[in-house]
Amino acid sequence: MKISARVGQVPPSMTLAISAKAKAMKAEGIDVCSFSAGEPDFATPKHIVEAAKQALDEGKTRYGPAAGEMKLRSAIAQKLQTDNQLNYSAENVQVTNGGKQSLFNAILALIEPGDEVIIPAPYWVSYPEMVKLAEGTPIIVPTTAETQYKITPEQLKATITAKTKLFVLNSPSNPTGVVYTPDEIRALAEVAIDADIWAISDEIYEKILYDGAQHLSIGAVSPEMLDRTITSNGFAKAFSMTGWRVGYLAAPVALIKATSTLQSHSTSNVCTFAQYGALEALTSPESPGCIEQMRQAFAQRRTYILDRIHSIPGMSAPQPDGAFYVFVDISSTGLNSLEFCDRLLEKYHVAAVPGIAFGTDTCLRLSYATDMTSIEKGMDRLEQFVRSL
Ligand code: PLP
């Protein structure tokens, strides 16, 4: 069988592969401490679950509009206005099967073969592959710990060519956890407007912030920027709803029409009753308290894990002001990230994701979306491993 070149060129997601390997080892009875998962370890808040149950009881089990239930699109537009100062209405919004489909829809609808898409590295694993699937060219811009792994306006400007269509911004970032300051966002917007390119702003971790970090949506910088911005977000991380598969895309109406057509020929609407759970998540007065409770648990783990990393000779990480990841520099060990993570998993039963999965081979990603006991045990083992090298 010959797989198409389009799909054949794309490797499977390394983060999912590592999580699967760690789970398989656990199933064999091995005591694995896993720092690999990209999902909160909390149950979905009860009021959200109840709303979906009620939707089922009410018979909300039928096909719906491909772009999403109108009530949910309106609530998302309202949220984007209130929380993000983005001037969108319901027709600017499409409900998607997670943030993943929202990014994929947007890239497929916007990118022509040969178009260049600027992606700062370290990047979330799926961005370059989505661009390749759309027959575009990912242009990876390496960043360093000196700039906290953030692309600078100068770097962005220097990378833009006549073929550049789009640049990808992810703040708070997976895998580094770093957050662009409002001034940094404004400076990037200025470059994008001057060069007449689009931005995709992946804001899926916007609610998970620490130490007073501020999130600014790039589309809120000015109306000119809003016209060239695609805002992608979802319910997975903030509301611990990873398996629900509800996300959304907000953009100029012409693009939403195109992505809705695309979705109408692929997955159609997002699971109807799941959308009613998402509606409850956005509109219930109980939700902010639930988000805050989870954020506080993450904050406590973050402090612990950073202290431990800083106490291991040769290890360092930039201060992650958001999300639930720490991106640890392991270059002093002389191992590349795959060797490091393989040995760590095989011999010390600790799962971490090699930085190469994110385009940065001198680092690894630790997710602290796991319980404190596993974090403590896993950090003991990581320290033992590094000291043994
Ligand atoms: N964007 C980033 C940066 C992510 O880390 C993830 C999930 O890990 C997604 C998008 C997609 O999230 P989902 O499709 O589960 O909503």
Please identify, in words, the CATH class of the domain defined by 5-44+288-388. Answer: alpha beta
Which phi and psi (to 5°) does residue 372 adopt? Answer: -60, -35
Residue 75, number of CB atoms within 10 A of its CB? 19
CATH level 2 (architecture), domain 62-283:
3-Layer(aba) Sandwich (3.40)
pLDDT in tens, 276-309: 999 999 999 999 999 999 999 999 999 999 999 9
Q: From CA 132, how far away is CA 256, in angstroms rounded?
A: 21
CA of 327 to the centre of ligand 1 (A): 17
CA of 369 to the centre of ligand 1 (A): 14
> 377 pairs with which residues across the strands?
none
Percentage of the chain beyond pLDDT 90 is: 92
Domain regions of the chain by residue span: 5-44+288-388, 62-283
Residues 170, 174, 176, 181, CA torsion sign: positive
Q: What angle do CA 22, 26, 28 make, to 5 degrees?
A: 120
CA-39 nearest atom, ligand 1: 8
pLDDT in tens, 153-197: 999 999 999 999 999 999 999 999 999 999 999 999 999 999 999
Res. 21 pLDDT band, cuts 50 70 90: confident
pTM (2 d.p.): 0.96
pLDDT > 80? residue 385: yes
- 215, 173 contact by CB (below 8 A): no
Q: Hey, what are 68's tokens?
A: 């999403």
212: left (phi over 0), alpha (psi -120 to 50) or beta: left
> 325 pairs with which residues across the strands?
367
The pLDDT of 20-37, averaged and rounded, is: 90
Of 124, 233, 267, best ligand 1 pocket probe by most atoms within 8 Å of the beta carbon: 124
CA-174 nearest atom, ligand 1: 3
The pLDDT of 238-261, averaged and rounded, is: 97
pLDDT > 90? residue 96: yes
What per-residue confidence (pLDDT) applies to 22?
Answer: 85
The pLDDT of 240-264, averaged and rounded, is: 97
pLDDT > 90? residue 23: no
What per-residue confidence (pLDDT) applies to 37?
Answer: 84
> 96 pairs with which residues across the strands?
247
CA of 102 to the centre of ligand 1 (A): 10
Ligand 1 surroundings by CB, under 6 angstroms? 38, 98-100, 124, 170, 174, 202, 204, 234, 236, 242, 247
CA of 385 to the centre of ligand 1 (A): 30
What per-residue confidence (pLDDT) applies to 92?
Answer: 98
pLDDT > 90? residue 18: no
CA of 333 to the centre of ligand 1 (A): 30
pLDDT > 90? residue 361: yes
Of 337, 298, 332, whose CA–CA distance to 312 is shortest?
Answer: 332
Residue 32, number of CB atoms within 10 A of its CB? 21
How many residues would you count in the chain? Answer: 389
Q: What is the mean pLDDT of the chain?
A: 96
pLDDT > 90? residue 11: no
pLDDT in tens, 31-68: 999 998 889 999 999 999 999 999 999 999 999 999 99
| Amino acid occupying residue 204 | I
Tokens 């209405």, located at residue = 89
**Nearest protein CA to atom 12 of ligand 1, as residue:** 99
pLDDT in tens, 202-225: 999 999 999 999 999 999 999 999
Q: From CA 172, how far away is CA 238, in angstroms rounded?
A: 12
Of 216, 210, 215, 169, whose CA–CA distance to 192 is shortest?
Answer: 169
Question: Could you say which DSSP state residue 318 is in?
Answer: -
Q: Which residue has the higher pLDDT, 9 or 156?
A: 156
What per-residue confidence (pLDDT) applies to 19?
Answer: 76
What per-residue confidence (pLDDT) applies to 31?
Answer: 95
273 Cβ neighbours under 8 A, 6+ residues apart: 52, 55, 56, 60, 61
CA of 387 to the centre of ligand 1 (A): 34
Of 168, 204, 275, best ligand 1 pocket probe by most atoms within 8 Å of the beta carbon: 204
What per-residue confidence (pLDDT) applies to 35?
Answer: 94
Res. 12 pLDDT band, cuts 50 70 90: confident
pLDDT > 80? residue 15: no
Q: From CA 385, how far away is CA 377, in angstroms rounded?
A: 12
What per-residue confidence (pLDDT) applies to 176?
Answer: 97
166 Cβ neighbours under 8 A, 6+ residues apart: 107, 110, 111, 115, 117, 118, 197, 198, 199, 200
Residue 20, number of CB atoms within 10 A of its CB? 13
Res. 1 pLDDT band, cuts 50 70 90: confident
